[in-house]
Structure 1
Amino acid sequence: MSLSLPEEVLLLTLDEEGRPLGRQGMAAGLGLAGAVLMELALAGRVDTDREALLLVAAEPTGDATMDIALARLPDSRDSRSALMLLAREEDALRGAAMAGLEAKGLLRRQEGRVLLLFRSRRWVPAGDRPEAGEVLARLRRALEGDHVPEPREALLVALARAAGLLPVLLPADLLAARQDRLDLLGRIEALGRSLGAAVAALRVARLGG
């Protein structure tokens, strides 16, 4: 089954009970926005370097998550502001991607109530599906290996790093031993560098405040 980068990242951010892993708040929104832009770049819909992002084709893709993003993006913009713009659309992007994963049988929707008054919704991974484990295995192989990575591999590592997932998903000794590899993978793709810079700037702003 083919999964988009946003779908892969969202699978990694849920534990077996549907509880969120990694960073929350604006950083989570940036991670999802980065995944969407990276998928659009791989599909040839946007062209980007570290500074500029150009909308190449705005026709709908048939993927609800990608089409929400395409409808929001202007013809051209610098990469960091494009990330911030889509991060503000996190609820719509996340909802569309979660619905897509549900349609593929990878998530189950659980409805409930908080304090008997407020409706709540949780997305729980389907326990009999191997896809989340396969994404994690690919992430680990990209970090452990010394091969020249495919763009999708490098982008997956950059996204997991930006979302704060690596310390949650991988052993600390592996991350310490492969720091040079991790830094290399983060520099390979322009969008990965822009995403890392945006998340770093957000953390500095929070510390400064």
Structure 2
Amino acid sequence: MTGVALAEELLLLAYDDETGKATMPRISLDLGMAAAVLVELALAGRIAYSDGSLVVADPSPTGEPIIDDVLARIAADDSPRSPSSWVQRLRHGLRDRILGDLCGRGVVRDVDETELGYIHVHRYPMVDPSVEQDTRRRLADALTGGPVPDERTAALATLVCAVRMESVLGLTGDAAADAHRRLEEIAGGAGFSGTVGMDDSIVRPSVALVIAALGRAVDQALGKRA
């Protein structure tokens, strides 16, 4: 596995480049990144859905430390767990790990400030915008209704839709509603949402069930989408 992880792309979209602060509810971002790691593993053929649980189909490392840690955690777990359970379990502490990794690679920087004389607040302004620029370009191309996006871009679009991130694309009102409909079309067309049978493939149902679990978790955290 090479390139930028889906969870990293979600985080970069969600943080303001100048202020280095999250621009959306952190609970939904954390849930989205947890689901993104599971989607990444499913796309790489490392995990699959079986009998109500996510199981390891291939324990070989992907080469991405954060993703491989999750793979090892799933492999070592003694109890079968559903996609919903893993989305909830993985969200804790994941954002800090991904931010630390992005800082180490020089994509963002950690600004440690003190408020009220003793409260430490961390901001993460952008240093290297090229990663986020590529992410935004791919999503923009997908939203124009052009060629069918590649698998990873379709997965990213599906996650953006599930986490209600249309606002971070700079869209409001009718434009945001149109973007939401297009993102749903991409997700359905890729087999990453809606009704997907196990006969379609191993990957598609695995991803679709993770996305469904993510949608329920976001609804529970933020209330039903209007």
Q: TM-score range by the shorter chain?
A: 0.7 to 0.9
The 8 Å contact of residues 13 and 20 in structure 1, kept in 2 or not, is answered as yes
Aligned residue for 1:53?
A: 54
Query: Separation in 1 of the partners of 2:51 and 2:131?
Result: 31
RMSD: 2.8
Give the fraction of aligned pairs with identical amino acids, expressed as a percent: 30
Call closer, same or farther: CA 1:166–1:146 in 2, change over 3 Å: same
Call closer, same or farther: CA 1:29–1:177 in 2, change over 3 Å: closer
The 8 Å contact of residues 31 and 159 in structure 1, kept in 2 or not, is answered as yes
The 8 Å contact of residues 49 and 79 in structure 1, kept in 2 or not, is answered as no
The 8 Å contact of residues 47 and 55 in structure 1, kept in 2 or not, is answered as yes
Q: How many residues align?
A: 203
Aligned residue for 2:81?
A: 77
Aligned residue for 2:41?
A: 40
Aligned residue for 1:98?
A: 99
Call closer, same or farther: CA 1:193–1:174 in 2, change over 3 Å: farther
What TM-score does the superposition give when structure 2 sets the normalisation length?
0.76
Q: How does 1:130-145 map to 2 (within 5 A)?
A: 130-145=130-145
Give the aligned residue type for 1:201.
R
- Segments of 5+ residues of structure 2 without an aligned counterpart are 193-204
Aligned residue for 1:198?
A: 213
Aligned residue for 2:159?
A: 159
The answer to whether structure 1 residue 24 and structure 2 residue 39 are counterparts is no
Q: CA deviation at 1:124?
A: 1.5
> Quick check: which one's strand share is greater?
1
Provide Cα deviations, 1:125-168, integer angstroms capped at 9, x if missing partner: 11x53221221111121122242332211110121123322123
Aligned residue for 2:200?
A: none
Moved more, 28-37 or 56-65: 56-65
Provide Cα deviations, 1:65-92, integer angstroms capped at 9, x if missing partner: 11331233237533222222212xx31x
What TM-score does the superposition give when structure 1 sets the normalisation length?
0.81
Aligned residue for 1:177?
A: 178
